[in-house]
Amino acid sequence: MTVNIKPPVRREAMRIAGKLVSTDDMLEVRNPYDNTVVGLIPAARPEHVRDAFAKAKAFKPKLTRYERQQILQKTAELLRDRKDEFARLITAEAGLCWKDSLYEASRAYDVWSFAAQLTIKDDGEMFACDISPNGKARKIFTTRQPLLGVISAITPFNHPLNMVSHKLAPAIATNNRLVLKPTELTPLTALALADVLYEAGLPPEMLSVVTGNPSTMGDAMITDPDADLVTFTGSVRVGKHIANTAGYKRIVLELGGNDPLIVMEDADLDKAAELAVTGATKNSGQRCTAVKRILVVESVADAFSKLVVEKARKLKCGDPMDPETDVGTVINERSAQLFEARVEDAVRHGARVLHGAPRQGALFHPTVVDHVPYDCELVHEETFGPVIPIVRCPNDIAAVIAISNSTAYGLSSGICTNRMDYASRFVAELEVGTVNIWEVPGYRIEMSPFGGIKDSGLGYKEGVVEAMKSFTNVKTWSQPWTA
Ligand code: NAD
């Protein structure tokens, strides 16, 4: 049964230090499934961005740990109480299916409530100095302080609520001020989240949300003189542009991936096939840590690919508004066309399509492709959709590791083996930020360190604990009293 869970068209304003600010020029936000307009957002000019940073910089946050904990926990609870409302917005603007959107809303609760719990933890360290002949009777302490300037946060479309939450919650937990630029593709959820924060008691000067076309106002977010740190989640292309443009500023870049799921000959193939299909298709395959390549050793590849097809056939792909749907649309038709072209290219290079259905607009059905050459574009680049590509590898762990490491990315990985010697080698030798044994690459809790190396990022981690560290300055101080 399809239920109407689409909100009416929302005519939005930016939130600049809590004030609603609009522009004559508005951008449309479209539902990827039926292409209807679901929202209109202001197209900010660089001066709007400047104004937001200046207002943030002029405000000095004075919230105690207790007050921050209360705001963060209240936000978590409001999100939990309104999860249907948020899921409706996510499905409307991103085309993600209702099941995925509900899951996203429940993950956001975790982000905010973990941040609330971590806020009241003491953050300092202590060093006694009388520990060597060079020491003396003193003590050194550290304390973490908010940045002197403002955080510039830029977020992608694929998790409209969760990616934004991963920037905002740790920033507020550490008493920072932010200017957020959500993607122009899914900005409505971020604007609704800002309202929840104001309602929960956040001083409005601590958070502004600006919207618009990145070609007009993107650089203003990166180069503003009051921005101390740019935290960005998105594509490698834009991440490298930020790295080249930001100048003398801290940057935290969480970029793309093409994560492998590795299946060795001893693996329980049914369990491995389940991880492969779920990992490649959840969130319409649009997770930075989605399974984007399945590296399976040749000796079990026939049996494994049969199981993958059986499981992929059970997925219902279609109207994202239908609560029974497992896979909604990808973000837009242009992306779906790109995936289609990449599958065709793989076929030209010897791959075989074992399951799929014709594309309908932005609806790209889960597509199982076997015998994919490890170096063709479908798996060598990041294919951000529900393709399930099987790459057959020699029966040799060294060759599997070499193939896995052969791309520019290094985000995460999933491993299907029970052999400890294999597991140890994968942990030691895969060039990635995470290795999950018997789990999808995307498995994590919202607090654990998360992030990639190589083109996937500069090695700084996200996750609430690590983000709270990167959003603070460590001050070291010492005193002569030692008791
Ligand atoms: P994108 O890079 O196209 O856009 C991301 C953000 O950057 C958007 O807000 C966009 O408006 C903005 N932007 C674009 N050009 C800009 C410019 N010149 N200056 C300033 N900002 C600019 O990415 P996307 O398509 O929205 O998201 C998908 C990508 O994000 C995928 O590559 C995915 O793997 C990655 N991602 C990574 C992680 C991670 O944690 N590593 C998590 C989620 C998504």
Is 287 in the same domain as 212? no
Which residue range is the domain that position 126 belongs to? Answer: 10-255+457-475
pLDDT tens by residue, 165-221? 999 999 999 999 999 999 999 999 999 999 999 999 999 999 999 999 999 999 999
Say if 366 falls within a structural domain.
yes
> What is d(CA 430, CA 403) in angstroms, rounded to the nearest whole number?
10
Is 66 in the same domain as 146? yes
- The preferred substitution site among 111, 233, 383 for testing ligand 1, maximizing ligand atoms within 8 Å of CB, is 233
Share of the chain above pLDDT 70, in %: 99
Is 245 in the same domain as 195? yes
Pair of tokens at residue 283: 């969130």
Is 250 in the same domain as 201? yes
Is 183 marked as binding a ligand?
yes
Please count the other Cβ atoms lying within 10 Å of the Cβ belonging to residue 459: 12
Give residue 7's pLDDT.
Answer: 60
Say if 25 falls within a structural domain.
yes
**Rg of the chain in Å (alpha carbons):** 23
Is 225 in the same domain as 333? no
Residue type, 300: V
Say if 482 falls within a structural domain.
no
What spacing in Å lies between the alpha carbon of 234 and ligand 1's midpoint? 2
> What is d(CA 117, CA 73) in angstroms, rounded to the nearest whole number?
8
Q: Which residues are catalytic?
A: 254, 288
> What is d(CA 183, CA 195) in angstroms, rounded to the nearest whole number?
17
Query: In total, how many domains does the chain have?
Result: 2
Is 97 in the same domain as 233? yes
Say if 483 falls within a structural domain.
no
User: Which atom of ligand 1 is least distant from the CA of 213?
Assistant: 11
Say if 470 falls within a structural domain.
yes
User: Which atom of ligand 1 is least distant from the CA of 241?
Assistant: 18
Is 224 in the same domain as 274? no
Residue 409 scores a pLDDT above 80? yes
Is 123 in the same domain as 149? yes
Helices (H), 374-483: 377-380, 397-404, 420-429, 464-470
Report DSSP state, residue 317. Answer: B
Say if 447 falls within a structural domain.
no
In this structure, the residue with its CA closest to atom 3 of ligand 1 is: 235
Give Cβ neighbours of residue 336 (< 8 Å, ≥ 6 apart). 329, 330, 359, 361, 362, 363, 364, 385
Question: 393: helix, coil or strand?
Answer: strand
In this structure, the residue with its CA closest to atom 10 of ligand 1 is: 183
What spacing in Å lies between the alpha carbon of 232 and ligand 1's midpoint? 7
Is 157 marked as binding a ligand?
yes
In this structure, the residue with its CA closest to atom 39 of ligand 1 is: 254
In this structure, the residue with its CA closest to atom 40 of ligand 1 is: 254
User: Which atom of ligand 1 is least distant from the CA of 239?
Assistant: 2
Is 225 in the same domain as 341? no
> What is d(CA 308, CA 310) in angstroms, rounded to the nearest whole number?
5
Is 227 in the same domain as 284? no
Give the Å distances, CA to CA, from 302 to 299, 307, 396.
8, 9, 17
> What is d(CA 222, CA 345) in angstroms, rounded to the nearest whole number?
37
pLDDT tens by residue, 298-345? 999 999 999 999 999 999 999 999 999 999 999 999 999 999 999 999
Is 418 in the same domain as 296? yes
When pLDDT is averaged across residues 376-380 and rounded to a whole number, the result is 98
What spacing in Å lies between the alpha carbon of 156 and ligand 1's midpoint? 4
Say if 90 falls within a structural domain.
yes
Say if 224 falls within a structural domain.
yes
Give residue 3's pLDDT.
Answer: 47
What spacing in Å lies between the alpha carbon of 3 and ligand 1's midpoint? 31
CATH number of the domain that 397 lies in? Answer: 3.40.309.10
What spacing in Å lies between the alpha carbon of 475 and ligand 1's midpoint? 32
Pair of tokens at residue 163: 């990616």
Around ligand 1, the residues with Cβ closer than 6 Å are 154-158, 163, 181, 183-184, 214, 218-219, 221-222, 233-235, 238, 241, 254-257, 288, 382, 384, 411, 452
In this structure, the residue with its CA closest to atom 42 of ligand 1 is: 288
CATH number of the domain that 94 lies in? Answer: 3.40.605.10
Is 233 in the same domain as 314? no
Is this structure's pTM higher than 0.85? Answer: yes
Pair of tokens at residue 312: 């992929």
Report DSSP state, residue 203. Answer: -
pLDDT tens by residue, 332-356? 999 999 999 999 999 999 999 999 9
Give residue 401's pLDDT.
Answer: 98
